[in-house]
Amino acid sequence: MEFTGRDATTDLAKLEVHRLSESVHDFNFYQLIELLHLFEGNIPEESDWERECRLSFSGNPSLGFSPSDITKLTYFPDGKLSLETNFLGLSGGASPLVVA
């Protein structure tokens, strides 16, 4: 079986940072964080990037199981980013807590 209509990898040269939220499901968590650091010009090995970092994380409270690590990436007008993940948090399908 062969399907030639889709690549196995994403072409990073074609991606623009403001259009990244449209293809956020194509990445796993660590790939996306590295890519956001690259786009923002952050150097994680330096201590200053934590003060200048404009990225915040949140967990998806949905009880459904998602096929991707990441639910959505939101850009705000002031340049900040919010990344909603499916594995981070105390509620949801990947939660360590039992829903009663």
Q: Is residue 56 part of a domain?
A: yes
Greatest alpha-carbon span in the chain = 50
Q: According to the model, what pLDDT value does residue 14 have?
A: 47
The confidence score (pLDDT) of residue 26 equals: 82
**pTM value?**
0.66
Confidence of residue 91 (pLDDT cuts 50, 70, 90): low
Per the domain annotation, does 68 fall within a domain?
yes
- 47 in a structural domain: yes
Phi, psi of 75 (to 5 degrees): -100, 135
Two tokens, residue 80:
């900040």
Q: Which domain holds residue 37?
A: 15-85
98 is a domain residue? no
The most confident of 4-8, 11-15, 70-74, by mean pLDDT: 70-74
Name the pLDDT band for 17 (thresholds 50, 70, 90).
Answer: low
Question: Does the residue 95 lie in any domain?
Answer: no
The residue with tokens 């807590």 is 97
Instruction: Quote the number of domains for the chain.
Output: 1
